[in-house]
């Protein structure tokens, strides 16, 4: 059973490209075999060439995955997102979940103007071991999903929007205040965090 504590993240926004390689080398060891670099640029990716680990760059969510992907793809995460602006975080969750060895199914464009489309996906949602629901602005989607199905829901607020959205804090507060029982919340734009919680839920199941 892999301890999730063996996973690390680095924020490329705080480490210039010329320092990223040594930063990563000092973090990867026996215990840590999987590492995510958020906010990564092509320059960061280039700086990692030749590193003795698998290195995959996902520009659509600015994420670099360092380390060997697991092969035991036995758990299913359904990643639900509301609008086009939430797609990069949905991508981050999906990439991270797959790197952790989970199967991922995506349900998109089910924002407030398309909630009826969610009803058609109820069966898919009920098959998930864990649902990750992503939304910014009013952040309604995770509450609606939690009310619709009986699977554990991890809600990810995103920092899209302006004014009253307070860079995602309004969505985050709304999700925490939600009357929908059965969901829990991670940080704004916390896609990797949501994927690791989903991974722990699945592994909790398989390790019994």
Site for a second copy in 165-184 (CB under 8 A): 165-184
Task: Return the number of the residue (64 or 140) whose C-beta is nearest a second copy.
Answer: 140
Binding flag, residue 17, a second copy (CB under 8 A): no
Cβ at position 131, least distance to a second copy in Å = 10
In the region spanning residues 123 to 142, those forming contacts with a second copy, defined by CB under 8 A, are: 128-130, 136-140
**48-107 positions binding a second copy, by CB under 8 A:** 82-85
Cβ neighbours for 71, distance < 8 A, ≥ 6 positions apart: 101
Distance CA 149, CA 9 (A): 31
Number of residues binding to a second copy, judged by CB under 8 A: 89
Render the burial of 22-55: b for 16+ CB within 10 Å, e for the rest. eebeeebeeebbbbbbbbbbeebbebbeeeeeeb
Q: Which residues pair with 77 in a beta bridge?
A: 104, 130
Asked whether the beta carbons of 79 and 135 are under 8 A apart, the reply is: no
Between 65 and 148, name the residue whose CB sits nearer to a second copy: 148
Minimum CB distance to a second copy smaller for 63 or for 148: 148
Per rule CB under 8 A, is residue 7 in the interface with a second copy? Answer: yes
Nearer to a second copy, 45 or 168 (CB): 168
Residues 187, 10: Cα–Cα separation, whole Å: 16
CB of 20 within 8 A of CB of 48? Answer: yes
What is the closest distance, in whole angstroms, from the C-beta atom of residue 205 to a second copy in the complex? 4
- DSSP element (H, E) containing 153: strand 153-157
Task: Compare residues 56 and 112 and give the one whose CB is closer to a second copy.
Answer: 112
25 touching a second copy, by CB under 8 A: no
């Amino acid at each position: 059973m892999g301890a999730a504590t063996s996973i690390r993240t680095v924020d490329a926004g705080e480490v210039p490209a010329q320092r990223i390689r040594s930063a990563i080398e000092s973090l990867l060891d026996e215990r840590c075999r999987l590492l995510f670099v958020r906010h990564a640029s092509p320059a960061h990716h280039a700086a990692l060439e030749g590193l003795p680990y698998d290195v995959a760059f996902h520009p659509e969510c600015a994420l670099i995955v360092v380390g060997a992907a697991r092969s035991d793809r036995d758990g299913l995460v359904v990643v639900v997102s509301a609008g086009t602006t939430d797609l990069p975080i949905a991508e981050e969750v999906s990439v991270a979940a797959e790197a952790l060895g989970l199967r991922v199914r995506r349900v998109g464009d089910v924002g407030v103007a398309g909630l009826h489309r969610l009803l058609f996906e109820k069966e898919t949602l009920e098959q998930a071991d864990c649902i990750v629901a992503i939304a910014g602005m009013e952040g309604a989607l995770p509450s609606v999903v939690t009310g619709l199905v009986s699977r554990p829901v991890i809600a990810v607020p995103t920092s899209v929007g302006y004014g009253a959205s307070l860079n995602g804090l309004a969505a985050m507060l709304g999700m925490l205040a939600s009357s929908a029982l059965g969901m829990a919340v991670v940080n704004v734009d916390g896609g990797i965090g949501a994927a690791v919680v989903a991974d722990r839920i699945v592994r909790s199941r398989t390790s019994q």
